[in-house]
Structure 1
Amino acid sequence: MPAVPAGNYYQQGQQGPSCWDRVKLGFMMGFSVGLATGALFGGFTALRYGLRGRELMNNVGKVMIQSGGTFGTFMSIGAGIRC
């Protein structure tokens, strides 16, 4: 069987993603995981406290943005360290 190349970056003079691109990708991945986690934990916590309607949506949205920003920041720092 022929070997599968690891990536097309180093063929024909192309370069891989820059360090800044990796940091941005790390932030976006961390932000999306943080949003999902914030929706789960924030939703369950708000329902446990008895929030309904607009209060529920405001609280869950705030928790989603906070956890997404926090986890995205840590993922981007980790990607920057690996550069």
Structure 2
Amino acid sequence: MPPVPQHQHGFEQPSIWQKSEMGAMMGGGVGLTIGFIFGSWSIIRHGSGPRGFMATLSQYMLSSAATFSFFLAIGSVIRSDSPLALRMEAMQLQMAASNPILRSKVQSAHLIRARWAEERAARSNN
């Protein structure tokens, strides 16, 4: 399998740190929105309590934003470190060279059977 190129189409891929920052920013935005919705609903339903409307709503929003941004940042790092993503990119590069879109189902089935036969032969030789 050929190595995955680091530069595609003239631009550099974002680093893991940049991906984690993007995940944290998206999580923060989602968390603020969810915190506003649920905080407002809680205040309407139960009242604002002794701290007041703004303090209660801001606590809901900030705690929700912190939670979402933390988990989305971690999720984006885990997703970017996945070896599956590298394999998928390498497979797409290989498939682009052989133009699989123009193959028929019968041709694809023959290719798969030929690969299986090669794998069986390689296993029997070992």
TM-score (norm 2): 0.54
Asked if structure 2 preserves the Cα contact closer than 8 Å seen for 1:28 and 1:72, the reply is: yes
Alignment of 1:2-81 (within 5 A): 10-12=8-10, 14-51=11-48, 55-81=52-78
Quick check: which one's helix share is greater? 2
Distance 2:59 2:73 in 1: 21
Distance 1:43 1:35 in 2: 12
Which structure has more relative contact order (CA 8 Å, sep 6+)? It is 1
Counting aligned pairs with the same residue, the percent is: 36
Asked if structure 2 preserves the Cα contact closer than 8 Å seen for 1:47 and 1:56, the reply is: no
User: What stretches of structure 1 move > 4 A for 4+ residues in a row?
Assistant: none
5+ unaligned residues in a row in structure 1: which ranges?
Answer: 1-8
- 3-state SS in 2 of match to 1:65: helix
Question: Which of these two proteins has the greater Rg computed from alpha carbons?
Answer: 2
Aligned residues: 73
Distance 1:34 1:61 in 2: 12
